[in-house]
Amino acid sequence: MTVSAETWLPLGPLEDMEDGERREVTLPSGKIILLIRTEGKFHAVCADCPHQDTPLAEGSVDGTILTCPLHFWQWDIRTGEEIGLAELPLEIFELRHENGEWFVRAEK
């Protein structure tokens, strides 16, 4: 597999992240994404709640369910699908692993 620098942006190695850990990353475009390691897998979502831009890093993660700390909206971090009260989907980003490095698919 070849990773194109046009659409796949390097994140570096992520194996130092422990299960349940979250990490914010600012992309070259200025957009901030939230990396989440849960159940041994990595996920990347928009770092801000689509409702009122609350930082989701301050929320809680239970398995693959992310909860906003402000109004308790919830999403499945694998799909961005709303759960319960949430009325808007959460933007998710595709991740790839190649030669020990992680990449996120996003605009530059």
Q: Which of 64, 87, 93 is nearest to 77 (CA)?
A: 64
Residue 5 and residue 104 in contact, taking contact as beta carbons nearer than 8 Å: no
Q: Which residue has the higher pLDDT, 1 or 20?
A: 20
Q: Which of 56, 43, 47 is nearest to 25 (CA)?
A: 47
Q: What sign for the dihedral angle of Cα 46, 48, 51, 29?
A: negative
Domain 8-105 maps to which CATH number in 2.40.40.20, 2.102.10.10, 3.20.20.70, 3.40.50.11440?
2.102.10.10
> How far is residue 52's CA from residue 103's CA, in Å, rounded to a whole number?
28
Q: What are the pLDDT digits (tens) for 7-61?
A: 899 998 899 999 999 999 999 889 999 999 999 999 999 999 999 999 999 999 9
Residue 103 and residue 11 in contact, taking contact as beta carbons nearer than 8 Å: yes
